[in-house]
Amino acid sequence: MDQTAPLLQKIVEAHTQLRANQPLVQCITNSVAANYVANVLLACGASPAMIDNPFEAENFTRISSALSINLGTPTTEQMQAMQISANTAQQASVPWVLDPVGYGNILSWRSEMTNELLQYQPSVIRGNASEMSGLAGNQVTGKGVDSTLDSAEVYIQAWTLLDHAECIAISGESDFILSKELNSVIQVNGGCFLQPRVTATGCALGALIAAYCAVTDVTIATLSAHVHFAVAGQLAYQTAQTVGSFNVAFLDALDSLTADQISEYANFSIIHR
Amino acid sequence: MDQTAPLLQKIVEAHTQLRANQPLVQCITNSVAANYVANVLLACGASPAMIDNPFEAENFTRISSALSINLGTPTTEQMQAMQISANTAQQASVPWVLDPVGYGNILSWRSEMTNELLQYQPSVIRGNASEMSGLAGNQVTGKGVDSTLDSAEVYIQAWTLLDHAECIAISGESDFILSKELNSVIQVNGGCFLQPRVTATGCALGALIAAYCAVTDVTIATLSAHVHFAVAGQLAYQTAQTVGSFNVAFLDALDSLTADQISEYANFSIIHR
Amino acid sequence: MDQTAPLLQKIVEAHTQLRANQPLVQCITNSVAANYVANVLLACGASPAMIDNPFEAENFTRISSALSINLGTPTTEQMQAMQISANTAQQASVPWVLDPVGYGNILSWRSEMTNELLQYQPSVIRGNASEMSGLAGNQVTGKGVDSTLDSAEVYIQAWTLLDHAECIAISGESDFILSKELNSVIQVNGGCFLQPRVTATGCALGALIAAYCAVTDVTIATLSAHVHFAVAGQLAYQTAQTVGSFNVAFLDALDSLTADQISEYANFSIIHR
């Protein structure tokens, strides 16, 4: 029996729910990504709000349907807001996603904060292969915020990270989602080689996972966000092959994606442990 | 007699003046909107400068032709700059626009700052229906930074805000502009349902009001900015129907808008008190 | 003999190297430009990372192939990061570019910081005519962050700035590059009048100079970045004539630019002292 069919059904349902519910997603994100993340969430049907100061963080997390924390270009005030919001999210059972951009021994300030944030039990931790391998305890030399490793090679190392989160998602040419619930890995194919050549696509994916967490369970949410991105990337490339136009087409595809397109183009498989 | 005809004539003149004068507009705005606001102002013909630190705020406001203050994602340093610049603007008779993003009891830090800034008598206060209703003293539960109320239902509540500013502008499916000078409300129709699905369009509208304030009186400036946006949104939708392309077409339309297009598509009416 | 031919050959080689090496470029830039600068660098083939906090600046500059410092919207923490990274770059022989946005007597905080940063010997200082004239010691009244002077009129004034850097680049309708190595000025023509009507193009050019410095010598790097921009701007205008579409086409052209296009469209000349 095809084990992906029931998952695909749930992805389609989650996509419909996201559009219908327009969940409020608090994003504490970086200066490069802020505008783009907001536009991606709006295109996908969510309602983003970039509340990232420590004076309003607690109140705002309490009324949010999900929280996305991204460590791309942290400031001292944002760091304080991250701690408060992550703590509040755990207390108030608001699902939240941690994106430890640039994790590794070079960027120690954010890496120490990432380690601290783990205590608040993120629903999902997502990142590229270098970041996830580093977070799993390996010595990694990333290239700034871009990965020097292949997602297919490191996803096994990331099993230990399921102590900290329900899902671990590693993006790359193929994306790998480790699910505690399923005790399995889901490999998501598709997307487009141009996605990493547009800045902040990974950051936006993290926020989209959070948005989906507001309307479905964590594993389906993580999978749905990755499939949404992969199919939209594939469709966008059909209309645009250079980065400027591709990015416009990608936002268009995120917006106009239909249940039929998800069903037709979704490409993922389950790897049992 | 058609009371809108003389206003329309002044809108066309203001649009010409904006292009001709390229006024310098200081913007203290949020991290989501900064790039977009600058591009919108450039597209419309103004010269934006996002000087938002407290150490240069006073000097810069003095040489600016207008000031736009937006409370989307404030930092402590920006908050200080806002107070200094608003104070300076009042002293130096520089017109300024206040956009109290997210005003309400949940986001108390910015709301208290908004209340403080009112003492410096903004030329215009603009926002969505939830924000303006909250500012007028009503208990409002906004959805983050998006409105949960309809502009047509709340504009009457906003009359009391004319104690603080010469114009109050409430954006929504129709926009409502309350003018102290005219002792009337102007309802602006048009635009496109996709505008709120592109982030920071409201923030950019606030900055554009400020830009117009540099070249005409406050009521005409507020009206001109809303008409500029509404007509450009309508024209953009004729060429693009999904959010990515729409946003590109919107910037194109803001840029290429002609006097003839304003005259043909402007759609507003006067509601006497 | 045509003196530009050997330079053109080196520009083409540098362009190939940039694509092949994808150098890591640390950018400390402004809130308006952050997203755009990252996308421009990615489109051109470099790997940007906006590490702009003082706690990670030293470590990160050490592993970067180049550094770009831009004073558009500085915060106190960014100012600290700028000093640390500039100092580290000098010590570790990492080439770095200084873009003193808004330099002048009105914006004194950043101007004093710019003066301090000169001690760390930037490889290149770039800016518009007002900024470069001001930095060379003239009394200049800029219009915010836009120039009120013509690059052709002020480039001679900038000779003294070669005490502080190997190259001085002044952008405008024509760009002028002063090279200590060549003891000459190179005038770069081309580009498009729409480039200054898209925000942060100048900021992105500064970061692109840094990226090229990672793969070739400073004079060729500065020239290559300007030619890359000028040719891409010219090609973009062939497909789009309003600012929104132009910006998309410009990113496309930055991405798809070929050696043949560089050879065909590059337009520069040498002005001996």
Name the strand (E) or helix (H) holding C201. Answer: helix C201-213
Disruptive mutation site among C143, C194, C203 for chain B (greatest number of B CBs within 10 Å)? C143
| Residue B243 in contact with partner chain A when CB distance is under 8 A | yes
| Residue A31 in contact with partner chain C when CB distance is under 8 A | yes
- Amino acid in position B204: A
Statement: residue A1 has pLDDT above 60: no
pLDDT of A142 reads 64
Q: Shortest CA distance to C44 belongs to which of C232, C195, C217?
A: C232
A126 annotated to bind ligand: yes
Statement: residue A262 has pLDDT above 70: yes
Q: What is the CATH number of domain A4-272?
A: 3.40.1190.20
What does the pLDDT look like over A27-55, one tens digit per residue? 999 999 999 999 999 999 999 999 999 99
pLDDT of B2 reads 74
Nearest CA in chain C to B45: C197
| Residue C249 in contact with partner chain A when CB distance is under 8 A | yes
| Residue A17 in contact with partner chain B when CB distance is under 8 A | no
Statement: residue C266 has pLDDT above 70: yes
Strands C175-179 and C184-188: antiparallel
Name the strand (E) or helix (H) holding C160. Answer: none
pLDDT of B148 reads 78
A79 annotated to bind ligand: no
Nearest CA in chain C to A200: C35
Question: Which of A38, A56, A75 is the closest to B107 by Cβ?
Answer: A56
Q: Where are the domains of chain C?
A: 4-272
Distance CA B68, CA A94 (A): 35
Cβ–Cβ under 8 Å, residues B59 and C106: yes
ipTM summary value: 0.96
Cβ of B34 within 8 Å of Cβ of C36? The answer is no
Worst-scoring range by mean pLDDT, C67-76, C152-161, C210-219? Answer: C152-161
What does the pLDDT look like over B7-45, one tens digit per residue? 999 999 999 999 999 999 999 999 999 999 999 999 999
Angle made by CA atoms C144, B38, A29, in degrees to the nearest 5 = 115
Distance CA C250, CA A238 (A): 20
Residue A90: how many other CB atoms lie within 10 Å: 17
What does the pLDDT look like over A166-189, one tens digit per residue? 999 999 999 999 999 999 999 999
What secondary structure letter does DSSP report for B31?
T
Percent of chain A with pLDDT over 70: 99
3-state secondary structure of B180: coil
pLDDT of A258 reads 98
Distance CA B46, CA B65 (A): 10
Cβ of A35 within 8 Å of Cβ of B30? The answer is no
Could you tell me the two tokens for C27? 């950018």
Could you tell me the two tokens for A54? 């420590």
**Cα A147 from chain centroid (whole Å):** 16
Instruction: Please state the φ and ψ torsions of residue A157, each to the nearest 5 degrees.
Output: -60, -25
Residues 6+ apart with CB under 8 A from A232: A250, A253, A254, A257
Average pLDDT estimate for C40-68: 98
First-last CA distance in chain B: 18
Percent of chain C with pLDDT over 90: 90
Statement: residue C262 has pLDDT above 60: yes
Cβ of B31 within 8 Å of Cβ of A34? The answer is yes
Worst-scoring range by mean pLDDT, A200-204, B2-6, B15-19, C174-178? Answer: B2-6
Distance CA A35, CA A116 (A): 27
Strands C66-70 and C24-28: parallel
For residue C152, name the pLDDT band (cuts at 50, 70, 90): confident
What does the pLDDT look like over C115-136, one tens digit per residue? 999 999 999 999 999 999 999 9
Q: Over chain C, what is the mean pLDDT?
A: 95
pLDDT of A2 reads 74
Q: Shortest CA distance to B188 belongs to which of B199, B198, B200, B179?
A: B179
Distance CA C145, CA C165 (A): 22
C126 annotated to bind ligand: yes
Residues 6+ apart with CB under 8 A from B168: B124, B125, B126, B132, B158, B161, B162, B177, B178
Name the strand (E) or helix (H) holding C261. Answer: helix C259-265
Cβ of C42 within 8 Å of Cβ of A199? The answer is yes
**Cα A136 from chain centroid (whole Å):** 18
Question: Which of B33, B76, B200 is the closest to A77 by Cβ?
Answer: B76
Across the strands, what pairs with C143?
C146
Nearest CA in chain B to A78: B75
In terms of pTM, does the model score above 0.80? yes
Cβ–Cβ under 8 Å, residues B74 and A53: yes
Residue whose pair of structure tokens reads 């498009």 in the numeric block? C192
What secondary structure letter does DSSP report for B156?
G
Q: Which bin fits B22, alpha (ψ -120 to 50), beta or left (φ > 0)?
A: left
Distance CA B60, CA B46 (A): 16
3-state per-residue secondary structure call for chain A: CCCHHHHHHHHHHHHHHHHHHCCEEEEECCCCCHHHHHHHHHHHCCEEECCCCCCCHHHHHHHCCEEEEECCCCCHHHHHHHHHHHHHHHHHCCCEEEECCCCCCCCHHHHHHHHHHHHHCCCEEEEEHHHHHHHCCCCCCCECCECCCCHHHHHHHHHHHHHCCCEEEEECCCEEEEECCCCEEEEECCCCCCHHHCCCHHHHHHHHHHHHHCCCCHHHHHHHHHHHHHHHHHHHHHHCCCHHHHHHHHHHHHHHCCHHHHHHHCCEEEEEC
Q: Shortest CA distance to C74 belongs to which of C102, C115, C35?
A: C102
